[in-house]
Amino acid sequence: MLASPPMRGAVEGRTAVVAAAALVLGGALLLGDGSDAGPLFWIGSGAVLALALGLAVLPRPELGRAGIALVLLLSAFAAWSAATIAWSVEPDRSWDSFNRAATYAAVLGLGLLVRSPRTAAALLAVLFAVLIGWALLSAVVPALGPDVELSARLRDPVEYWNALALALAMALPIWLWLGRAVGAVGIFASVVALLLTQSRGG
């Protein structure tokens, strides 16, 4: 049976939001350039635009008390970060902090709009697989990285080993959730890459 026009529109809208979320998260994982403020600004802008698109074409998500508290606290933190620019000794650093908090809030909003845990997990699994594959390939073929200088720590494509290690650690719950052969391969690759970062935090 064919979907009715409103239902079809909702499916298309959700697909567009998932695609936008993939672009934002992919940019954050693969093009974040460590702690550089430039990419952070564009990633945050993309997240805000994707969230605006989702709110325009999809119904508002239903949140419980914990969800509402999370959204309000994160929004308040972003607003406070913006307010501190007015009296900060280093306004540029405060602006970076606001960009980061606003990006977190927008990505959270995208996650709430996607709704389906299975879809979100599949999306994250694909992005983490690309990240891990890129990182390990750059260790085997250093010329594929942004520069040809050998580094004692694995850092591509994030360009900062501690940030890469954090992303690799975040991938582990996804692999555990997937289970079976795919999860086992993902865990093994993540742990190997994590050890190569030589990151104490990771």
- Name the average pLDDT for the chain: 80
Higher pLDDT pick, 194 / 52: 194
DSSP the chain: -PPPHHHHHHHHHHHHHHHHHHHHHHHHHHS--TT-HHHHHHHHHHHHHHHHHHHHHSPPPP--HHHHHHHHHHHHHHHHHHHGGGT-SSHHHHHHHHHHHHHHHHHHHHHHHH--HHHHHHHHHHHHHHHHHHHHHHHH-GGGSSS----SS--TTTT-HHHHHHHHHHHHHHHHHH-HHHHHHHHHHHHHHHHHHT-S--
Higher pLDDT pick, 174 / 1: 174
What is the pLDDT averaged over residues 72-100? 89
CA distances from 97 to 18, 79, 88, 169 (A): 26, 11, 11, 23
Residue 101's pLDDT band, with cuts at 50, 70 and 90, is confident
Range of lowest pLDDT (23-37, 38-52, 156-170, 171-185): 23-37
pLDDT of 2 reads 43
CA atoms of 158 and 164, how far apart (whole Å): 6
Cβ-Cβ contacts under 8 Å for 96 (sequence gap 6 or more): 37, 40
pLDDT of 1 reads 41
3-42 residue pLDDT tens: 445 555 566 667 777 777 777 777 777 776 555 555 666 7
